[in-house]
Structure 1
Amino acid sequence: MATATPPAAATPGEFAALLSQEESAIGQFVTLLQQEQAALTAGQVDSLDALVAAKNPLVQQLNRIADERRYLLQVAGFTNDRAGFHGYLEAHGTAEMRAAWERLQSLAHQAQELNGLNGQLISQRLQGASGALQVLLQRHQAGSGVYGPDGQKQAGTGSRLIDSV
Structure 2
Amino acid sequence: MAADQGLVHRLAGLIQDERTGLQGFIALLQKEQALLIAGQIDALTTLAEEKTVRYRSLQRLSDERTMMFARLGAKVTSENMRAVLGASPENLKAWDEVVALAGEAKERNRVNGQLITERLQNNQQALTTLLAAAEHPQIYGPDGQSRPTASSRNLGSA
> TM-score by structure 2 length?
0.81
Equivalence for 2:115: 121
Equivalence for 2:25: 29
Instruction: Report the Cα distance in structure 2 between the residues aligned to 1:55 and 1:116, rounded to whole angstroms.
Output: 14
Q: 67-76 or 51-60: which moved more?
A: 67-76
Equivalence for 1:130: 124
TM-aligned CA deviation for residue 49 of structure 1: 0.3
Aligned residues: 142
> TM-score by structure 1 length?
0.78
Instruction: Report the Cα distance in structure 2 between the residues aligned to 1:115 and 1:76, rounded to whole angstroms.
Output: 33
Give the one of 84, 105, 112 matched to 1:111.
105
Instruction: Report the Cα distance in structure 2 between the residues aligned to 1:10 and 1:67, rounded to whole angstroms.
Output: 18
Query: Which amino acid letter does the alignment assign opposite residue 53 of structure 2?
Result: P
Equivalence for 1:142: 136
TM-aligned CA deviation for residue 79 of structure 1: 2.1
RMSD after superposition? 2.2
TM-aligned CA deviation for residue 10 of structure 1: 4.4
- Give deviations 1:5-59, integer Å, cap 9, x for gaps: xxx9842111111101111111111000000000001111111001101011111
The runs of 5 or more residues in structure 2 that have no matched partner are 148-158
Equivalence for 2:80: 84
The runs of 5 or more residues in structure 1 that have no matched partner are 1-7, 145-155
Q: Does 1:66 align with 2:44?
A: no
Give the one of 72, 90, 102 matched to 1:96.
90
Cα 1:10/1:66, change in 2 over 3 Å: farther
